[in-house]
Chains A and B, each alone.
Chain A
Amino acid sequence: GESVGLHLPTLSVQEGDNSIINCAYSNSASDYFIWYKQESGKGPQFIIDIRSNMDKRQGQRVTVLLNKTVKHLSLQIAATQPGDSAVYFCAERENYGQNFVFGPGTRLSVLP
């Protein structure tokens, strides 16, 4: 199957700064994307999603941007807090199906 990959395996940011986590995908048929957060010892937690007919979606302190032209997805976290430290995964769904392909993840470390 097609793959989802992440540009940066690790990201360190100062507390209070904004974070940007990137994801590249290769399947042009993907129609829906999710960002997950996984803390140590826990399962992935749904953060925010976006459909392919949108290019931006905002949540509480998080924004997801989708650029279908270059097949790129990003997660922006505003005013990053220590509790944001985790591994972040992007996932893509193909053609309204039930299967998701996950990227390898980016570890976000928030520095005091």
Chain B
Amino acid sequence: ETGVTQTPRHLVMGMTNKKSLKCEQHLGHNAMYWYKQSAKKPLELMFVYNFKEQTENNSVPSRFSPECPNSSHLFLHLHTLQPEDSALYLCASMGQLNTEAFFGQGTRLTVV
């Protein structure tokens, strides 16, 4: 248990659906991240939030919409996804020293 919790663990959605992924941490960390992990690819950074403000959007398509209502919670809203968006979506958080980023268990997303 890393202190970073993601829900749901598994999600199957159609291309016309709208769904949201949730991440929460109670580690007192100020930075939260969304990463995408596809088969045979390195972890891809999607978004970074620092003290609720988005500091990085790594050219992510607009069908992925992040939301960070407070430093403990992070959402990823999904809309009109494509089959190639199927992947493991990982949330991570990091403290003010910018070290020891901790990951959640991920949401395995399948777009059908």
Contact = CB atoms under 8 A, between A and B. Distances in A.
A100 B105 contact: no
Interface residues of B, number: 25
Q: Is the interface of A mostly helix, strand, loop or mixed?
A: strand
A43 B45 contact: no
A67 interface: no
B90 interface: yes
Contact of A98 (B4, B42, B50, B106): B50
Given A102-B42, A104-B41, A43 B48 contact: no
Contacts of B101: 34, 46, 91, 100
A4 to B, nearest CB: 8
Nearest to A100: B101
Contact of B43 (A41, A46, A49, A89): A89
B42 A43 contact: no
Contacts of A72: none
Interface in B1-51: 2, 4, 6, 31, 40-43, 45, 48, 50
Contacts of B31: 98
Given A89-B43, A104-B41, A105-B42, A42 B56 contact: no
Contacts of A97: 98
Given A34-B100, A46-B101, A98-B55, A104 B42 contact: yes
A93 B45 CA distance: 13
A99 interface: yes
Given A102-B43, A104-B42, A43 B100 contact: no
Nearest to B6: A43
